[in-house]
Amino acid sequence: MSAWMDEMAVDEPWEAAYWADFLATFPGNPAVATHAKSVASKLGADARVAQAADAEEDIRQFTRKHFNKYIELKAGKVPDASREAEAAKLAAKYPGLPHAEILTKLGGTS
C-alpha cells in the first residue's frame, strides 16, 4: 500500500492523501507509518488535495439536496433542468478532477 500511495501522489494526490492518513495510524510497520505521515504532510500543501476535499463536500451537499436517503431510482432518472444546471456549475469548479464527472453524472439522468 505504501508503494501504491507513492505512485498515486503524482497523478492522484487526493487518493494518496487518503491512504497516507490511513497508513499513518494503521498498526503495523512503524517505518510505513513514519513514511505515510511524511507523505500526508507533503500532500496537505497540495492545492489539488484541498480542491478534492471541497469537491467531496459539494457532492455530499448536492446528494443531500437532490436525493433523499430512501432514494427512488426512477426519480433520479427523470430529467431536471435545474438539477443539471446546478451540477454543471459545481463541476466547473473542479476541472481535471474526477469529482467533476461525478457531479455531472449526479445532475444528469444516466
Structure confidence at residue 109 (pLDDT): 56
Q: Are residues 101 and 56 in the same domain?
A: yes
What is the residue range of 12's domain? Answer: 2-45
Q: What is the pLDDT of residue 1?
A: 86
Q: Is 82 left (phi over 0), alpha (psi -120 to 50) or beta?
A: alpha
φ/ψ of 78, rounded to 5, equals -80, 125
| Per-residue pLDDT tens over the stretch 34-85 | 999 999 999 999 999 999 999 999 999 998 888 776 666 666 667 889 999 9
| Same domain, residue pair 23 and 70 | no
Q: Name the percent of the chain lying above pLDDT 90.
A: 75
- Does 106 score more than 80 pLDDT? yes
Is residue 56 located within the same domain as residue 89? yes
Give the pLDDT of residue 79.
80
Distance from the Cα of residue 5 to its chain's centroid: 16
Same domain, 32 and 75: no
60 and 33 assigned to the same domain: no
Any idea of the CA torsion for 24, 25, 27, 30, to the nearest 10 degrees?
40
Number of separate domains in the chain: 2
Note whether 91 and 51 are within 8 A (CB). Answer: no
Rounded to whole angstroms, the Cα distance separating 109 from 107 reads: 7
Same domain membership, residue 37 and residue 70: no
